[in-house]
Chains A and B, each alone.
Chain A
Amino acid sequence: MAVVYSKKVLEHFRNPHNMGEIKDADGIGAVGNPVCGDLMEIYIKVKDNKIEDIKFKTFGCAAAIATSSMITDLAKGKTIDEALKITRDSVAKNLDGLPPIKMHCSNLAADALHEAIKDYKKKQNIES
């Protein structure tokens, strides 16, 4: 059965925003599993408690790539607390929805962002 994606998903899939790595990232979040077919890495650079820069690397289907791209748009410039409020649902909504079958398996970007923030906080505590 064909999976039908929204225009927005396809736009982000074709021209993903903020794709790449941040070499000196303040926090890195990795979620997913290559066995299942989705693996996501989110890199963040934080300044004055704000996400100054964010990039992603993703192995996965169009939904996985589009949600990664969308989360970087949503999180960029936000404070850590604001960023933590971004949910899987808000990512999907901002993409004009995801096919039902993709809602759980490929909608991992919010989790990856939260992991990156957790990693950032952990590093801060160790350093401070």
Chain B
Amino acid sequence: MKKIYMDYAATTPVDEEVLKEMLPYFKEKYGNASSLHSFGREAFDAIEKAREQVAKIINSTPDEIIFTSGGTESDNLAIKGIAYKNKDKRKKEGPHIITCSIEHPAVLETCKHLEKQGFDVEFISVDKYGLVDPGDLEKAISKNTFLVTIMFANNEIGTIQPIEEIGKIAEQHDILFHTDAVQAVGKEHIDVNKLNIDLLSISSHKIYGPKGVGALFVRKGVKPEPVLHGGGHEKGLRSSTYNTPGIVGLGKACELGLKRMEKDREHMKKLRDTLIKNILTIEESYLNGHKTKRLVNNAHFRFTAIEGESLNLMLDDKGIAASTGSACSSTKLQPSHVLLGIGLKPEETHGSLRLTLGRYNTMDEIEYVSEVLPDIVKNLRNMSPLWH
């Protein structure tokens, strides 16, 4: 049976060139980058090269890149780090953070944690496409607001936020702006200077790099408190022995991502648009997210009267790897907060299907999915008491 991977938003395979670049740093060039000797210097040089490669993909300078263990840690460091820095600026109403209702759990849960510690957090809502209204943001800003954290693009429905406008508002009010760009890096052109971004989270395994490594862009002059204390790595911001192979892999993945961005974008957009067109011919099927302001690789549907876990298992039986926001597939048995956040009723969230494409998908695969999916939906609807 053919095996088709359409879950690139979950993770990506490591690119062949990335792997090749990483391999020597496991066994031959194993030095600790903090050591003075030649072994250490070899690792140090590799890490500094990676720092340049990462900086380029977001148009920052290398000294503004902090290596972390991944997107979650980058979000934690950015939000907690800035929050702890502002903790002592106690004003009457307490320090204030603004975020939105459909953020990744790495941001949402971090903000909720800070709420328990006495920070005020405002979770602004989004419209039916998942878009933040910059006007709402403006209204939410108070004298005590010190941080706005809004994701670049949503991991479930692919909606791209008005980042430039948000950046402008944050700058006008002299508030720091963090964005979780884990899903956008390599797919969207990102210029942290043009967009007035102060902190930006990157994950390696979403861009054909290895798992367990990521980066945080921290604008020069912005000084978060560290979350990990120890030997003082990364200018004291993130202690922990350097994961040299991982960092080298992330660097190479960024270099290739930037080099191939135009080609990748064009390829994925063509596939995505065909897929959306084909799937929406199914009776009572809907596209979640925005039609145009969406990631080039994201297609997110919902189908009336069927349940997403069943749908995904049946697709898996046909060799197709996808994802769902259905409650039944989550460990908390709660419908996706993103789908609820865009105003879907709980019963409407169950029949959802996310197909996220990547560099290695082909038009043949799109055709195969388009052929197989209508029958699966039909079968499940035949079984469903909710289908007319």
Residues of A bordering B, CB below 8 Å: 1, 3, 10, 13-14, 16, 19, 30, 34-41, 57-65, 101, 105-106
A59/B305 in contact, CB under 8 A = yes
User: Which residue of chain B is the closest to A32 with respect to CB atoms?
Assistant: B385
Is the pair B307, A61 in contact by a Cβ cutoff of 8 Å? yes
Q: A13–B313 contact, CB under 8 A?
A: yes
Chain B min CB distance to A4 (Å)? 12
Q: Are B328 and A60 closer than 8 Å at their CB atoms?
A: yes
- What's the least CB distance linking B72 to chain A, in Å? 15
Q: Are A35 and B346 in contact (CB under 8 A)?
A: yes
Flag if A30 contacts B385 (CB, 8 Å): yes
The 10 closest A-B pairs by CB, nearest first: A61-B328, A61-B309, A57-B385, A34-B347, A59-B384, A35-B346, A41-B385, A37-B350, A59-B386, A37-B327
Residue of B with least CB distance to A41: B385
Residues of chain B contacted by A10 (CB below 8 angstroms): 313
A61/B326 in contact, CB under 8 A: yes
CB within 8 Å of A: which residues of B?
Answer: 305-307, 309-310, 313-314, 317, 326-329, 331, 333, 335, 345-347, 350, 382-386
- A41–B328 Cα distance when bound, in Å, is 19
Tell me which residues across on chain B come within 8 A of A62, comparing CB atoms: 309-310, 313
Partner among A35, A40, A57, A65 whose Cβ is within 8 Å of the Cβ of B310: A65
C-alpha spacing A10/B385, complex, angstroms: 21
Task: State how many angstroms separate the Cβ of B205 from the closest Cβ of chain A.
Answer: 17
Asked if A38 and B384 make an inter-chain contact with CB atoms under 8 angstroms apart, the answer reads no
Docked Cα-Cα span, A3 to B317, in Å, equals 15
A34-B350, A61-B309 are known; give 18 further A-B pairs, CB within 8 A. A3-B329, A34-B386, A35-B345, A35-B346, A36-B327, A37-B307, A37-B346, A37-B347, A40-B385, A59-B307, A60-B307, A61-B310, A62-B310, A65-B310, A65-B383, A105-B328, A105-B333, A106-B328
Q: Which of B329, B346, B350, B383 contacts A58 (CB 8 A)?
A: B383
A29 to chain B, nearest CB (A): 11
Question: Which residues of chain A are within 8 angstroms of B346 by Cβ–Cβ distance?
Answer: 35-37
Which residues in B have their C-beta under 8 angstroms from that of A30? 385
Q: How far is the CA of A34 from the CA of B347 in the complex (A)?
A: 5
Determine the chain A residues whose CB is within 8 A of the CB of B347 once the complex forms. 34-35, 37
Query: What are 30 sample pairs from A and B whose C-beta atoms fall under 8 A apart?
Result: A1-B331, A10-B313, A13-B310, A13-B313, A14-B314, A16-B383, A19-B382, A19-B383, A34-B347, A35-B347, A36-B327, A37-B326, A37-B346, A38-B307, A39-B384, A39-B385, A58-B384, A59-B383, A59-B384, A59-B386, A60-B310, A61-B307, A61-B309, A61-B326, A61-B328, A62-B309, A63-B328, A64-B307, A64-B328, A105-B328
The interface centre, meaning the residue of B306, B326, B331, B333 with most chain A CB atoms within 10 A of its CB, is B333
Contact at A37–B328, with CB atoms within 8 Å? Answer: yes
How far, in Å, is B227 (CB) from chain A's closest CB? Answer: 25
List the A side residues contacting B386 at CB < 8 Å: 34, 39, 59
Question: Which A residues lie within 8 Å of B345 (CB)?
Answer: 35
A61 to B329, CA, bound (A): 8
Instruction: Provide the residues of chain B in CB contact with A36, threshold 8 Å.
Output: 327, 333, 346
Please, how many angstroms separate the alpha-carbon atoms of A36 and B345 in the complex? 11
CB distance from B105 to the nearest CB of A (A): 13
Q: Looking at the assembled complex, report how far the CB atom of A54 sits from the nearest CB atom of chain B, in whole angstroms.
A: 15
Q: How long is the Cα–Cα vector from A3 to B331 in the complex, in angstroms? A: 8
Tell me the bound Cα distance from A57 to B388 in angstroms. Answer: 12
Please determine whether A59 and B306 come into contact, CB atoms closer than 8 angstroms: yes
Docked Cα-Cα span, A128 to B214, in Å, equals: 73
